[in-house]
Amino acid sequence: EAEVAQSPRYKITEKSQAVAFWCDPISGHATLYWYRQILGQGPELLVQFQDESVVDDSQLPKDRFSAERLKGVDSTLKIQPAELGDSAMYLCASSPGGLNSYNEQFFGPGTRLTVL
Amino acid sequence: SQQGEEDPQALSIQEGENATMNCSYKTSINNLQWYRQNSGRGLVHLILIRSNEREKHSGRLRVTLDTSKKSSSLLITASRAADTASYFCATDRYSGGGADGLTFGKGTHLIIQP
């Protein structure tokens, strides 16, 4: 069964350092999402891609976060510099997407980031 | 910001009993979804109910949707230890349809006692 892949699964870094997370969506899924989940909360959308284009990054802290999906397949989320408050689970999801589709999303296992 | 709010925040029941959790949301939606998350893992999609549907079943799951009250409920019948997890409702961020990002509630943490 096809799955969304994420790496690394765990990342520990010191504040002010740069970190990067990678996501490979299910093959053929046009829409890719990055969510951040703070412990005890539900996921919050950071950025949404349709193919290689950003559709929604209204909740992405653009002063330190960046995301790209250059070839419309896999994606990278970067934080530079990391802050203590960035400690969270970063989840990637994909969906077949497209107009008039009902968006069941398929989630990867997540990357747990700890900033010291 | 969180649109959905689940109730209760935590629920502990005996194996074999039914578990009911509720979700309220604020704005109009195209559909509402329920997801399960086992401790420290990714989310798994359980069921999607469209705004023009009132009830939907999938195995031991029953979901209702009341758009006039902006609320939904998830019923898990004949609970099993493996149902122990956090359950989240999620709604479309925008009402224009299409593959929109989701807005999640804070979740209900369900514990099934053996």
**pLDDT value at B93 more than 80:** no
**Which candidate from B42, B48, B101 shows the least CB-CB separation from A45?**
B101
Q: How confident is the model at residue A99 (pLDDT cuts 50, 70, 90)?
A: low
Q: Which chain A residues touch B100 with a CB distance below 8 Å?
A: 48, 56, 103
Q: Which chain B residues touch A96 with a CB distance below 8 Å?
A: 99
Phi then psi dihedrals of residue B91, to 5 deg: -125, 160
Beta bridge partners of B88: B35
A 65-104: CB under 8 A from B? 89, 91, 93, 95-104
Nearest in space to A28 (alpha carbons), one of A98, A109, A102: A98
**pLDDT value at A87 more than 50:** yes
Residue B1 near residue B19 (C-beta atoms within 8 A): no
**pLDDT value at B97 more than 60:** no
Residue B67 near residue B53 (C-beta atoms within 8 A): no
Cis before A109? omega within 30: no
Residues contacting residue B99 through CB under 8 Å, at least 6 positions apart: A30, A31, A50, A95, A96, A97, A98, A101, A103
Q: Which chain A residues touch B23 with a CB distance below 8 Å?
A: none
Residues contacting residue A90 through CB under 8 Å, at least 6 positions apart: A6, A21, A34, A35, A36, A37, A77, A110, A111, A112, A113
Q: Which chain A residues touch B98 with a CB distance below 8 Å?
A: 97-101, 103
Nearest in space to B86 (alpha carbons), one of B66, B64, B105: B105
In the DSSP assignment, the letter for residue A28 is T
Mapping DSSP to helix (H, G, I), strand (E, B) and coil, where does residue A86 land?
helix
Q: Which residue would you say has higher pLDDT here, B13 or B6?
A: B13
pLDDT, tens digit, for every residue of B16-54? 999 999 999 998 888 899 999 998 788 999 999 999 999
**Which candidate from A103, A106, A107 shows the least CB-CB separation from B100?**
A103
Distance CA A51, CA A25 (A): 11
pLDDT, tens digit, for every residue of A29-78? 999 999 999 999 999 999 999 999 998 999 999 999 999 998 889 999 99
Nearest in space to A108 (alpha carbons), one of A39, A29, A16, A14: A29
Write out the two tokens for B12.
Answer: 């502990």
What average pLDDT does the structure give for chain B? 90
Nearest in space to A112 (alpha carbons), one of A3, A61, A33, A39: A39
A 37-56: CB under 8 A from B? 40-45, 48, 50, 56
**pLDDT value at B2 more than 60:** no
Mean pLDDT check: name the lowest of A105-109, B1-5, B100-104. Answer: B1-5
